[in-house]
């Protein structure tokens, strides 16, 4: 667990960068925090996810302009990209789970930074990941899942509109990909999973533990 002080300091720094529209300082603050010992898991779950949710609420309330939201999200994406070699190194150090997970946003969903952070967390636990990202046509989701042998599909939605659009997406995927587990998440599900209880992810860590345990049970059954 990261030092609470480090988490709070970085959170304040990012808020200042948002107010000053300072992309470079935001990237530098994130990278410096990791260099100083903040784990990528804590960076994502305790700093960036809450910060981006706050930015989204600011945009919805009219406190943050669209261009400001794009600027700061772009800074976060740049930092995440810069940290990816660390993710790859961590992936090489852990035992492979033997489960392939595919990650998509529905056709009209452009926000995929949260999904990208989720992919990195799965990578660092030893899962094989297929990150396709924003605005993926459903036919391509199906083709990708079949081609890669993914047994789990994660879908992300950022708004109520995208959440509603997922109904048709999941229905089509279930028809075309029997036996593949479907999961949904993202800001659109932050406050309610009503009508989505079968698919909603309450805890990413618990989900990963469950998938690892499932592999173990299957291996015992085959022994």
Please list the pLDDT of the chain residue by residue as tens digits (223 residues): 557 889 999 999 999 999 999 999 999 999 999 999 999 999 999 999 999 999 988 988 999 999 999 999 999 999 999 999 999 999 999 999 999 999 999 999 999 999 999 999 999 999 999 999 999 999 999 999 999 999 999 999 988 888 888 999 999 999 999 999 999 998 888 777 777 888 888 788 899 999 999 887 776 666 5
Handedness of CA 211, 206, 196, 190 (dihedral sign): negative
pLDDT for position 60:
85
pTM confidence score? 0.91
Tell me the pLDDT tens digit for each residue of 146-181.
999 999 999 999 888 888 889 999 999 999 999 999
Positive or negative, the Cα torsion across 69, 70, 73, 74? negative
Domains and CATH numbers, the chain: 4-93 (1.10.1240.10), 100-222 (3.40.50.280)
Q: Distance between CA atoms of 77 and 75, rounded to whole angstroms?
A: 5
Cβ atoms of residues 144 and 131 within 8 Å? no
């Amino acid at each position: 667990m990261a030092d609470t002080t480090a988490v709070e300091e970085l959170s304040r720094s990012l808020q200042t960068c948002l107010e000053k529209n300072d992309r470079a300082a935001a990237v530098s603050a994130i990278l410096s925090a990791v260099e100083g010992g903040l784990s990528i898991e804590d960076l994502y779950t305790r700093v960036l996810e809450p910060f981006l949710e706050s930015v989204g609420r600011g945009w919805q309330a009219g406190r943050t302009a669209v261009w400001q939201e794009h600027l700061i999200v772009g800074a976060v994406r740049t930092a995440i990209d810069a940290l990816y070699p660390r993710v790859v190194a961590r992936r090489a150090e852990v035992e492979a789970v033997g489960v392939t997970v595919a990650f998509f946003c529905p056709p009209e969903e452009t926000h995929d930074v949260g999904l990208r952070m989720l992919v990195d967390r799965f990578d660092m636990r030893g899962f094989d990941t297929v990150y396709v990202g924003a605005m993926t046509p459903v036919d391509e989701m199906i083709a990708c899942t079949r081609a890669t042998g993914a047994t789990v599909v994660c879908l992300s939605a950022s708004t109520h509109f995208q959440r509603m659009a997922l109904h048709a997406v999941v229905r089509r995927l279930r028809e075309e990909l029997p036996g593949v587990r479907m999961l949904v998440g993202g800001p659109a599900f932050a406050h309610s999973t009503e009508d989505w209880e079968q698919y909603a992810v309450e805890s990413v860590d618990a989900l990963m533990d469950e998938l690892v345990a499932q592999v173990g049970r299957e291996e015992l059954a085959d022994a």
